[in-house]
Amino acid sequence: MIYTVLPLGSFHGWGICGKYIVKELSRWDIIRLVNGEIKPESFENELDYRFFKKLIISEEELESQMKPNNNPFPDPVLQAMNNQDYLPNLPQLRGSKNIGYTFFEDNIIPKKNIENADGFFDLVVAGSSWCEEMLRFHGLRRATTIIQGIDPMVFNPDHKEKEYFTDRFVIFSGGKFELRKGHDIVIKAYKALQDRYPDVLLITSWFNQWPQSINTMAGSPYLNFQVTTDNFFDLINQVLLDTGIDLSRVIHLPPYPNLMMPRIYKNTDLGFFPNRCEGGTNLVLMEYMACGKPVLGSFNSGHKDILSDHNSIKINQMGVLNVSVNGTKTAVWDEPFLDETIEKLDWAYQHRDEIGALGRQAGKDLANLTWERTGRQFFELIKN
């Protein structure tokens, strides 16, 4: 038996990751979810909800197991780590083996966080090689990497030719709207392309329900960003107008579960991901590439586990962006060079056949990075 404390859901990266890991682990062992209540609206269908509901541990069993003087569970526990202090979500829950799973972007790590992780977990699993490198740099030796996967039943190159906007060069940009994701770079680069060619179109999937995250855009070197409204799409449109973007050549998507995204991806020509930092491997980028579509992406942090010269257009030139919160330096991120980004975006526009070949290779490469593979790696790590 394996006990898990992982976020579950279909509308955000951590939830999708947790959902698939639990589902795949259940192929290999009995899984007990220690998540408290789960709600139907967190899932895209009733079948998923019913599947996960039956895995939830009863309150009685959990209460008896988590009494302070009780011995640890006789079975291993896999828990998400808290990014604030590197303790697990349920520190009172211990098993025969304690595995932590983490994604983070604040790579200036306090010594106390490393001590917490080292004291609680037998092993910490990072969501990217970059995350593992940062943990080891700061002194955590018991660390390894297992990257996320894609669902090949949903994200695959079948029927990947566009049915809409066949007369346009359509650029897709995803991820919640914030400084880390580089959407200000997207806006500036797209503005340059828009002014050169009349047939470009931008599709965004930027919805962000966390105001604190949106406010990080105030640190952009390219935007004079101010929050002027509580309506997310009105705010984004104002940012675009202030930058000179023609709103008739932009389509904003509402939040969709990731299962609905392949048809969107397949009606675009290029995925654009000039991210400053990714603690994971960027699930949206992976799913986009799995559909056999080419990407232009920053070659830094977690992207390095996925992008290659054969499956993508890489932004290689990086500056340095120091990140501070309330006057305290918390991270050092890569800053993709805007000139190189615009140059390679223009190259993609001019070379449709070449980027098509990159997309085909991307589809082949990502077909090997499945959630089944991720789940099997977790199972082997937990049991060995």
Task: Render 67-96 in DSSP notation, one character per residue.
Answer: STTSPPPSS-EEEEBPTTTS-BS-TT---S
pLDDT value at position 60? 78
pLDDT value at position 384? 82
Domain boundaries, the chain: 2-149+371-383, 169-366
CATH 3.40.50.2000 fits 169-366, yes or no: yes
pTM: 0.94
User: 176-231, pLDDT tens digit by residue?
Assistant: 999 999 999 999 999 999 999 999 999 999 999 999 999 999 999 999 999 989 99
- Contact by Cβ (8 Å): 322, 107: no
Residues 6+ apart with CB under 8 A from 25: 2, 4, 31, 78, 375, 378, 379
Alpha helices, DSSP H only, in 93-182?
111-120, 129-137
pLDDT band at 339 (very low <50, low <70, confident <90, very high): very high
pLDDT value at position 68? 60
- Collapsed DSSP state (helix, strand, coil) of residue 273: strand
Asked if the domains at 2-149+371-383 and 169-366 fall in one CATH topology, the answer is yes
User: 301-316, pLDDT tens digit by residue?
Assistant: 999 999 999 999 999 9
Q: Residue 36: pLDDT above 80?
A: no
Q: Residue 65: pLDDT above 70?
A: no
Q: Residue 67: pLDDT above 90?
A: no
Phi, psi angles (nearest 5°) of residue 309: -65, -20
pLDDT value at position 70? 62
Extended strands (E) in the chain:
2-5, 31-33, 77-80, 98-102, 123-126, 143-145, 169-174, 200-205, 250-252, 270-273, 295-298, 313-315, 318-325, 328-336
Q: Which of 149, 152, 181 is nearest to 283 (CA)?
A: 149
Tokens 């909800």 belong to residue: 49
- Output the average pLDDT for the chain: 94
Per-residue pLDDT, averaged over 3-16, amounts to: 86
CATH architecture of 2-149+371-383: 3-Layer(aba) Sandwich (3.40)
User: 224-282, pLDDT tens digit by residue?
Assistant: 999 989 999 999 999 999 999 999 999 999 998 888 999 999 999 999 999 999 999 99
User: 319-332, pLDDT tens digit by residue?
Assistant: 999 999 888 999 99
pLDDT value at position 9? 80
